[in-house]
Amino acid sequence: MAAIAPAEKIVDKINRREQAGEVPYFSFEYFPPRTEQGVNNLYARIERMAQQEPLFVDFTWGAGGSTCDLTIDLSASTKEKTGLDVNMHMTCTNQESSKVDEGLKAAQEKNIRNICALRGDPPKGQDKWEAVEGGFECALDLVKYIRKETGDHFGISVSGYPEGHPDVIKPVADLGRELSESELKRVVKDENGEFVCSDDDFAKELAYLKEKIDAGGEVIITQLFYDSQVFIQFVKDCRAAGINAPVLPGLMPIQAYAGFKKMCGFCKTRVPEDVAKKMEEIKEDEAAVKAYGIELATQMAKDILASDVGVNGLHFYCLNLEKSALAVLDNLGLKKDVVEDAAAEKENTLAGTHIN
């Protein structure tokens, strides 16, 4: 077997691409499937998507390390089989430092050079996030711990929230005042009312993000969003706050109406009125929803890449699917021509007509 290519830090790869003018670039994110068949299907999909030469791929990490073994296996096998650099998630949820130690040791042994340090979501059935005894209070603690224990070995990415973290997006009525111009651009409207991260809370969010970067974070990957102008303003706000790390926009092409509504509700995501209206019009037509998801993600990517904030990377939340992300890349002129196998042809046929 050929030797596995040495792993690289994401920030170094970004800097090299930027300096050489080799832009734009993109990355794919996956989650550990629940079944053996799902794992096998994902491996096949990753091998096909690897032919697009993403800058890196990453894998999520379950609460309390519930999927840590599979996450590590997916990360190591993907590096070995495809040569792609991997960004392995780690979260604080229900997790003691010993579990992090195990994960970091495995990553070092298996040629995984990048860690995405996250607080994580509350465990299933629990509304409020709480640290466990002997665990970490927040992502900042995790960043500091990784740097303390492993020095500069790992490239560390952290999360960013263009609309504010869901925990600080609160009912507009609670503010007891008119919204500012900047708050109006972030306001979230849904069937339960209007919500917003106040300017004061947003400033605290930026200050905390800067702490994560100053502590050793090197790249920012954002929460999903559907308003490209909110992301562009977020990057401007980051720069004004002295945060100069690369910012990668998290794009999640809409796959289904129900999933879109659930994810936006969970993340308290702002949905522009024209997008909300369109989704209501086509919600009963599965193929139309997927086609619109590709169209919307394409336009968002174009807006971002054409903006004056200097963002040249795109991060796709693939939901372990390939058609929509690859269709967006094709629309942007970034998709490489590769030979599809029968499984990919079947999936793409079942998923709907390709959008050019």
Query: Exposure pattern of 239-274 as b/e (b: 16+ CB <10 Å)?
Result: eeeebebbbbbbbbbbbebeebbebbeebbbbbeee
Catalytic residue among 8, 18, 22, 29: 29
Radius of gyration (C-alpha) of the chain in whole angstroms: 20
Q: What is the dihedral of CA 124, 126, 127, 131, to 10 degrees?
A: -110
Give 215's contacts (C-beta < 8 A, 6+ positions apart). 140, 143, 144, 147
Q: CA-to-CA distance for 213 and 218, rounded, in angstroms?
A: 6
Both structure tokens of 139: 């992502």
Phi, psi of 183 (to 5 degrees): -65, -40
Q: Report the candidate in 26, 13, 10 with the shortest Cα–Cα distance to residue 297.
A: 26
Specify whether the CB–CB gap between 213 and 151 falls below 8 A. no
Confirm whether 29 is a catalytic residue.
Answer: yes
CA distances from 175 to 167, 178, 189, 197, 283 (A): 15, 8, 15, 10, 33
Count CA atoms within 13 Å of residue 132 on its CB side.
Answer: 17
Give 6's contacts (C-beta < 8 A, 6+ positions apart). 111
How many CB atoms lie under 10 A from the CB of residue 37? 9
Burial degree of 170 (CB within 10 A; 0-12, 13-18, 19+): middle
Helices 199-214, 139-150: crossing angle, 10 deg rounding: 10
The residues that are catalytic are 29
